[in-house]
Amino acid sequence: MKKLHLIGLAAASVLALSACSAGADTTAPAGSDALTPVTVGVIPIADTAPLYLGLDQGFFEDEGLDLTIETATGGAAIVPAVVSGDYQFGFSNLVSLMVANDKGLPLKVVNSAVASTGDVTSDFGAVIVKGDSPVETLADLDGKTVSGNSLNNIVDTVMRASIDRLGGDSSSISFVEVPFPDASAAVENGQVDAAFVVEPFVTAAIESGQRVISYGYADFDVNLDVAAYFSSAATVDGDPELVTKFQAAMKKSLEYAQANPDAVRAIIATYTKTPPEVLAKIVLPKFPTEFNVDAVTALGEAALKYGVVETAPDVSTFLP
């Protein structure tokens, strides 16, 4: 059974996001028991394409799961829904999950999700400015206003680290929260001096005449894992069979996405209103099935350095 819902997205956007609902199929796979309902909360961006592909390809049905995808603007909305049990699984950047871990929230990372391309000249996450902006590098952002989709997460953490490494002063920057779909417009109208966005909004910004001054994830670490799928401790401990089935379906989905970039671009068109000419040009991330422990460790240390967490996570227990 394929279901897709949409919640809480920013309305004002040149690239407004929408959800598509596949036709219901109440027939379980041959020889299987009734499908187990499972809800996953995600951000509808290029990063989450494997989940949509897994639904489309039947990988979740193969594992006996009846998947519903719920969408939101960021991990701040998804985490509470997972903790409360409204969602069985969620998608969030790793720093937000580190913050949750640091605060004692009962969350467990269960799957890798998305990682940097490893190319500092072409990645799926970037810092954009107006075409005529005097800002040329991250070090030029001192005293400026910069947006991310949420605060005290991976966006401002990796930016602070790179800015300071380049000789800038990240403590002088005002970070503000602007949803990814609205960020390019915020740059263009002068609401912010720069914005960190991810695909398909990077390419859309470039197409509109804006410039990239940093491919932020790759600039921090070319092997950076950016996000993960997670669940509550209650689900992990209380229903390990469900978690194992979800992990198996996600592994198939990630492998399929990595091997089929054209399918990734096509599926993105079903849950975002991205023009075909933009989809053809977007930079796709890597979709790994394993975490890069060294990069996640460095990310945790940066989160500690910039006061995002009080204690860096022990990756031996933080990661599955």
pLDDT given for residue 275 in this prediction:
87
Answer whether 216's CB lies under 8 Å from 125's CB: yes
Cα angle for residues 7, 266, 128 (degrees, 5° grid): 70
Q: Which of 216, 262, 245 is CA-nearest to residue 53?
A: 262
Q: For 241-262, what is the mean pLDDT? A: 98
Identify whether residues 72 and 152 lie together within a single domain.
Answer: no
Residue 231, strand partner residues: 89, 108
Q: Do 131 and 264 lie in a common domain?
A: no
> Are residues 91 and 233 part of one domain?
yes
Chosen domain end from 220, 248, 273: 220
229 and 211: one domain?
Answer: no
Contact 53, 267 (CB under 8 A): yes
Domain co-membership, 230 together with 204: no
Tell me what the mean pLDDT of segment 208-223 comes to. 96
Q: Among 220, 235, 261, where does a domain finish? A: 220
Please give the residue that has the higher pLDDT: either 256 or 18. 256
Q: What is the CA radius of gyration of the chain?
A: 19
Do residues 276 and 260 share a domain? Answer: yes
- What span, in angstroms and rounded, lies between the C-alpha atoms of 231 and 241? 13
Range of the domain at 203: 125-220
Full-model pTM: 0.85
Q: Are residues 57 and 156 in the same domain?
A: no
* pLDDT tens for each residue of 47-83: 999 999 999 999 999 999 999 999 987 777 898 899 9
* Number of separate domains in the chain: 2
β-pairing, 65-71 vs 107-115, is: unpaired
| Shared domain check, 199 and 145 | yes
Average pLDDT over the chain reads 89
User: What's the rounded mean pLDDT across residues 117-141?
Assistant: 95
pLDDT of amino acid 33: 61
Tens of pLDDT, residue by residue over 146-202, are 999 888 889 999 999 999 999 999 999 999 999 988 999 999 999 999 999 999 899
Q: Which of 163, 192, 220 is the last residue before a domain boundary? A: 220
> Rounded to an integer, what distance in angstroms lies between the CA atom of residue 205 and that of residue 211?
7
Whether 81 and 44 share a structural domain: yes
For residue 10, the tally of other CB atoms under 10 A from its CB is 15
Helix 240-259 to helix 261-271 angle (10° resolution) is: 110
- In 7-87, where does DSSP find H-type helix? 49-57, 59-62, 75-84
Q: Give the per-residue pLDDT at 31.
A: 41
pLDDT in tens, 7-54: 333 333 323 333 333 333 333 444 446 999 999 999 888 899 999 999
CATH of the domain at 173: 3.40.190.10
Instruction: Indicate whether 242 and 188 sit together in one domain.
Output: no
Asked which of 15-29, 86-100, 102-116, 274-288 is least confident by mean pLDDT, the reply is: 15-29
What token pair was written down for 116?
């940097």
